[in-house]
Amino acid sequence: ETGVTQSPTHLIKTRGQQVTLRCSSQSGHNTVSWYQQALGQGPQFIFQYYREEENGRGNFPPRFSGLQFPNYSSELNVNALELDDSALYLCASSLDRGPGNTIYFGEGSWLTVV
Amino acid sequence: GQQVMQIPQYQHVQEGEDFTTYCNSSTTLSNIQWYKQRPGGHPVFLIQLVKSGEVKKQKRLTFQFGEAKKNSSLHITATQTTDVGTYFCAEDNFNKFYFGSGTKLNVKP
C-alpha cells in the first residue's frame, strides 16, 4: 500500500450541500495534491499544497478549497455541490514538490451528488 | 497546464497478444510518468521517463520517450489477464500532473 489514507471512502450528498474530504499523507511527505476523476476519465488536477500553502491550482472554481495542516494531512472542501461533482476524489502525496517526485495515491473518496 | 492526448481509448486483446498505448503532446515535456489503474482502484505509479529517446523495461512492459520529448509509448508483450486495467500517461508540471484520458485494456483469456 502507498501509506496515503483517505476518508470517507464513499458518501452521498444532496445538490447544494457542502462536503469535506480528508487525507493523511505518507510519512515524511510534505506535498499533497488533490485530483478529481470522473467516471471513464483521467484524474484532473485540482490543487496542490506544500508545507501548508497552496502551490498551484487547476481549472476548478473557488468553491473547491483546501487546507494542509502542520502534520501535512489535508482537507478538500467543496461548497454548493453540483451533480457534476460526482466523482472519485484522489489525494496524492509526494516527498517534495519539485519535478520528478513520484506521487502516491490514496484509495480515493467516492462522492455521489444527488 | 499542458494536455497530453492518449490513444487508443480502448483495446481488447486475446491473452498472449501484444498491446501498445501512445501518448502525445503538442509541446515538449520535461518528463512523463505512466500509471496503471485497476478497475475500482486508484492509479499506481509504473515508471518515469526523463531523457530524450529513453527506453525502460519492466519485465513484459517497455516504455519509450520520444526523441523530441513530445510523445511516449507503453508496450506490453504477451498480455496476461493481470494486465487488465486503464493505463495513463501523465505530464509532470512541477509535480502537478496532467493526465491523459487513458487506454482501457481488456484481456480475454
User: Does A34 score more than 60 pLDDT?
Assistant: yes
Chains A and B form CB pairs within 8 A to the count of: 65
d(CA B49, CA B43): 17
Supply the pLDDT for residue A103: 86
Q: Write out A71-98 in H/E/C secondary structure.
A: CCCEEEEECCCCHHHCEEEEEEEECCCC
* pLDDT tens-digit series, residues B67-95: 999 999 999 999 999 999 999 999 988 77
Measured between beta carbons, the chain B residues lying within 8 angstroms of A102 are: 33, 45, 48
In angstroms, the first-to-last Cα distance of chain A is: 32
CB A112 within 8 A of CB A61: no
pLDDT tens-digit map of B34-72: 999 999 899 999 999 999 999 999 999 999 999 999 999
**Residues near A19 by Cβ (< 8 Å), separated by ≥ 6?**
A11, A13, A77, A78, A81, A111
Residue B9: is its pLDDT beyond 70? yes
Q: Which residues of B touch A108 (CB under 8 A)?
A: 42
Q: Which pLDDT belongs to residue A66?
A: 97
Is residue A77 within 8 Å of A69, Cβ to Cβ? no
Q: Is A34 exposed, middle or buried (0-12, 13-18, 19+ CB in 10 A)?
A: buried
Q: Judged by CB atoms within 8 Å, which residues 38-97 of A form the interface with B?
A: 41-45, 48, 56, 58, 88, 90, 92, 94, 96-97
Kindly state the cell numbers that stand for A12: 452521498
Categorize the per-residue pLDDT at A98 as very low, low, confident or very high, splitting at 50, 70 and 90.
Answer: confident
Average pLDDT score over residue span B25-31: 91
Confidence of residue B2 (pLDDT cuts 50, 70, 90): low
Residues A55, A33: Cα–Cα separation, whole Å:
9
What's the rounded Cα separation, in Å, for the pair B101 and B78? Answer: 24
* Residue in A94, A99, A111 with CA at minimum distance from that of residue A4: A94
